[in-house]
Amino acid sequence: MRLTYAIKYVADMDRAVAFYGDKLGLELKLQSPFWTEFSTGDTVLALHPASDDNPAGSTELGFGVDNLGEFYDRREQLGVEFTREPKEMHGIHIAGILDADGAPVSVSGPV
C-alpha cells in the first residue's frame, strides 16, 4: 500500500489553483472545475470542490494497492470498514474506507 494522492476540498477552485500553482509553484497536471491535480513527486495533490459532506479545508487521503479485490476480500481479517465497495471509475477500481478516527480514505487499484 502506498500513498498516491491527497484530496483537498476547496471553496473556490480558481483561487486554490492559483495558490498551489502560482504561489507554491506546483506543476499542474490536470485542471477542471471539478477536479484538479498537481504533481508533487510520488503523491498527487488533488483539489475538489467542497460540499456539505466534505467542507472546505478538509482533506482525504488516497492509497493505492496492487489488487483492490484481494484487499476488499480480506476486510474482515484486517478489521477495515468499507464505506464504498470497489467500483470501476475513471479507468481504475476505487473504494472507500474509514480510518481509525472515522475519516474517509480512498483505496484504489488497477482494473
Task: Please tell me the distance from the alpha carbon of residue 89 to that of residue 80, in angstroms, as a whole number.
Answer: 21
Q: What is the pLDDT of residue 90?
A: 83
Does the structure show a pLDDT above 90 at 3? yes
Question: Exposure of 53 by Cβ count < 10 A (0-12 exposed, 13-18 middle, 19+ buried)?
Answer: exposed
Q: What is the pLDDT of residue 30?
A: 95
Domains and CATH numbers, the chain: 2-110 (3.10.180.10)
To the question of pTM greater than 0.85 for the whole model, the response is yes
Does the structure show a pLDDT above 90 at 19? yes
Considering the chain, what is the average pLDDT of its residues?
A: 95
Question: Is the Cβ–Cβ distance between 103 and 62 less than 8 Å?
Answer: no
Task: Please tell me the distance from the alpha carbon of residue 102 to that of residue 68, in angstroms, as a whole number.
Answer: 20
Q: What is the pLDDT of residue 111?
A: 87
Confidence of residue 25 (pLDDT cuts 50, 70, 90): very high
Task: Please tell me the distance from the alpha carbon of residue 82 to that of residue 95, in angstroms, as a whole number.
Answer: 7
How many Cβ atoms are within 10 Å of 9's Cβ, its own excluded? 19
Task: Please tell me the distance from the alpha carbon of residue 34 to that of residue 50, in angstroms, as a whole number.
Answer: 10
Give the model confidence (pLDDT) of 31-84 as tens digits.
999 999 999 999 999 999 999 999 999 999 999 999 999 999 999 999 999 999
Residue 35 makes CB contacts below 8 A (sequence gap 6+) with 46, 47, 48
